[in-house]
Amino acid sequence: MSLSYRDAGVDRDAAAIAKRRMRELVDSTRTDAVRASFGSFAGRLALAEGEELVVSADGVGTKLEVAVRSGRHDTVGEDLVNHCVNDILAEGAVPLAFLDYFACGELDPEVVVEVVRGVARGCRRNGCALLGGETAEMPGFYPEGVYDLAGFIVGRLEFPAVAAREVRSGDVLIGLESSGIHTNGFSFARAVIFARMGLEVDDPWPGLSASVGDVLLRVHRSYLGPLREECAAGHVRALAHITGGGIPGNLGRVLPDDLDAEVDVSAWRRLPEFSLLAEESGADPEEMYRTFNMGIGMIAIVSSDDADGMIGRIRSQGCPAHACGRLVTGSSGVRLLGTDW
Amino acid sequence: MSLSYRDAGVDRDAAAIAKRRMRELVDSTRTDAVRASFGSFAGRLALAEGEELVVSADGVGTKLEVAVRSGRHDTVGEDLVNHCVNDILAEGAVPLAFLDYFACGELDPEVVVEVVRGVARGCRRNGCALLGGETAEMPGFYPEGVYDLAGFIVGRLEFPAVAAREVRSGDVLIGLESSGIHTNGFSFARAVIFARMGLEVDDPWPGLSASVGDVLLRVHRSYLGPLREECAAGHVRALAHITGGGIPGNLGRVLPDDLDAEVDVSAWRRLPEFSLLAEESGADPEEMYRTFNMGIGMIAIVSSDDADGMIGRIRSQGCPAHACGRLVTGSSGVRLLGTDW
């Protein structure tokens, strides 16, 4: 029987209902300084002429449960920082400061220190100060050994052109590869790997030498390194961070009303984890592409003249990247071509 | 048998151990822009000459469990905003933007919308934009009906003198009354009220006409309204937001090495909730004053010449306030006088 994200306990409809009703509450708080909030990758706030802050909040989701199963707590913090860094980069910002929120039922100093070690590593690697945080011990709120982790980032708008998203018909999509599942779709992945297949974190991933824990815990890639100079040089017209909702959900957010994106999903290599998840879950490609990043963690929209050079430079920074589609006349839709797994 | 915060499931020693080890991790991320981070009420980051951001992260703690018991979800968000607003005010800042993080096992749109309604009300009342947030559905992470809520605030340093804390021997402490338990000590309070006394949220609070739920859920007061003009006029030399750690833990944070604070705890009225909690728990005054705000939510340190006028003005804004002590030669200690309950 095929599995869906809904079966795995995540109700996208409930989230959509809540989101609609939250929107008016958010709007009721709007101040003159607000430049972007609801529905963006990050909020934008004008401070002074030509100076804007970009802020975002995120969690790690149930990837945390894999960390708990594995007893490896020093990677999820870096996932969180990189997720936030990518979100504000998609709004044209570079990070200044990060804060974390760690909550658990009973505080284990070893665990929280390992978690913060990952947060601090992520901050250092992205040139971002860890400027504060909250550690909450909440008896009865979390099952034994379980914790939650959320993060908050403040950045400065440095690439207004990326935020402006002046994309055109004929622009090329450059897909930057993900390192794996990143931090979205874990309730689904866990339902397949642990509940359905009965694997343990120390088992080898079927067909790979790496363990299940290694594959699932691979750190969410930060795209600040490979993209910073490209943004500064004005080569990037828009960025979509591929998180919950996948390529359709996130690429669609940066398209104008009169353009569609055509994405050729055969343009990049299929990571073995997504093949296994598709096969074992029986989920159709649409469900897979809505739940997972499917191998692409960031999509840059660029002029066709700039694409080849940029792909070469991104690759030379160690991040595999591929031309994977283009913008055509349309109505803000995303079409996936070649999804016959 | 007397109850302690430790008995109620909160281990302050574990937290202190974790904190010491986190400090060096935080320091490893320091950038040139960082002005204050670990151990402050909020982090401070220089943006440009004379321009600083002040940021803070907080949770609501197990006050959330009272909201869940009561089925009243629209107040805890305002608690959270006000808590954060007070934290950055103690570092001399006024709020610009707020972000929330809501996490649960199974998303109930009604509940999350009520929670965000409280967050939005708190934002409006403090002139702060709700600029983003994250709603996380994490199956298996939270018992049924339970959720967690954290918040992040970004403010602008507007009162550098408050941040500078140039306090002097002879300065007067002005205690601004709390509205009740605010958001600290709830694991202790719940252990006494629900577990030990067997009360329900709809029962009347012993000796009061208000219900247990009403008393426990009273919203954390924001001190921005009563203190903003006083800070702008230069009357405030330092502020201590009285949260976890109580008056000793928080007033101590703003004292220089060569001064002590003497606090006369008979200077303000005893809120009936703290009397009941002390009586029923059998906790000694030291434990009570380390766990709860005990009726004072913010302490302003002011010149003795300014104290009387300021107390009158704060009261005229609807916030009861009292001269409750002074600074004397010492070594950063806080002495509570008259704690014989």
Q: Are residues B180 and B327 in the same domain?
A: yes
ipTM over 0.95: no
Overall number of domains in chain A = 2
Q: Are B151 and B226 in contact (CB under 8 A)?
A: no
CA–CA dist B164, B36 (Å, integer): 11
**Could you tell me the pLDDT band of residue B340, with boundaries at 50, 70 and 90?**
low
Domain ranges, residue A57: 31-158
Within this chain, do residues A223 and A316 fall inside the same structural domain, yes or no? yes
Of B158, B175, B202, at which residue does a domain stop? B158
Provide the CATH number for the domain around residue B202.
3.90.650.10
Whether A250 and A318 share a structural domain: yes
CA dihedral (B181, B184, B190, B193) in degrees, to 10, reads -30
Cβ–Cβ gap A116/B55 under 8 Å: no
d(C-alpha B228, C-alpha B170), whole Å: 23
In a domain, A4, yes or no: no
The sign one gets for the Cα dihedral A277, A299, A334, B102 is: positive
Which of B140, B158, B176 terminates a domain? The answer is B158
B69: which 2 tokens? 């018991």
Minimum mean pLDDT among A2-6, B20-24, B58-62, B86-90: which range? A2-6
Instruction: Compute how many other C-beta atoms are within 10 angstroms of the C-beta atom of residue B74.
Output: 18
Per-residue burial over A26-55, b = 16 or more CB atoms within 10 Å of its CB, e = otherwise: beebebebbbbbbebbbbbbbbeeeebbbb
What mean pLDDT is predicted for residues B63-91? 97
pLDDT digits (tens, 9 = 90+) for A59-107: 999 999 999 999 999 999 999 999 999 999 999 999 999 999 999 999 9
Which residues is A240 bridged to in the sheet? A299
pLDDT > 90? residue B270: no
Q: List Cβ neighbours of A177 (8 Å cut-off, separation of 6 or more).
A: A221, A268, A269, A295, A296, A297, A319, A320, A321, A322
Mark which residues 92-151 of A lie under 8 Å from B by CB.
96-101, 103, 105-109, 112-113, 116-117, 119-120, 123-124, 127-143, 146, 148, 150
How sure is the predictor about B339, in pLDDT bands with cuts at 50, 70 and 90?
Answer: confident
CA–CA distance from B110 to each of A180, B114, B130, B187 (Å)? 34, 6, 19, 26
Q: For B300-332, what is each residue's pLDDT tens digit?
A: 999 999 999 999 999 999 999 999 999 999 999
Side chain identity, residue A99: L
Model confidence at B169, pLDDT cuts 50, 70, 90, reads very high
In chain B, what residues touch A37 (CB-CB under 8 Å)? 129-132
Look-up of token digits 């929120």: A101
Residue B13 lies in a domain: no
Name the residue of chain A whose CA is nearest to B109's CA. Answer: A18
Residues B153 and B168 in one domain: no
Asked which of A143, A158, A173 is the last residue of a domain, the reply is A158
One domain, residues B73 and B103: yes
Domain-located, residue A25: no
B341 has pLDDT over 60: no
Is the overall model pTM greater than 0.90, yes or no? yes
Best mutation site among B22, B58, B131, B157 for testing chain A: the one with the most A CBs within 10 Å? B131
Structure tokens at B211: 């219900």
The low-confidence residues of chain A, meaning pLDDT below 70, are 1, 340-341
Same domain, B201 and B148: no
Indicate the SS3 state at residue A255. coil
> Between the CA of residue A29 and those of A15, A32, A336, B98, what are the distances in Å?
21, 10, 38, 10
DSSP state of B112: H
Question: Under DSSP, is residue A72 helix (H, G, I), strand (E, B) or coil?
Answer: coil
**Which token pair is A168?**
């055109």
Can you read off the two tokens belonging to residue B222?
A: 């924001």
Residue A323: per-residue pLDDT: 98
Q: Is the pLDDT of residue B34 over 60?
A: yes
Residue tagged 């088992």 (tokens):
A203
CB B92 within 8 A of CB B54: yes
- Asked if B96 and B66 count as a contact pair (C-beta separation under 8 A), the reply is no
Same domain, B235 and B108: no
Q: Are residues B154 and B200 in the same domain?
A: no
Task: Name residues 18-57 of chain B within 8 A of A (Cβ).
Answer: 18-19, 21-22, 25-26, 28-31, 33-34, 37-38, 40, 42-45, 47-48, 51, 53, 55-57
- B19's tokens: 């904190």
DSSP code for B193: I
Residues B333 and B192 in one domain: yes
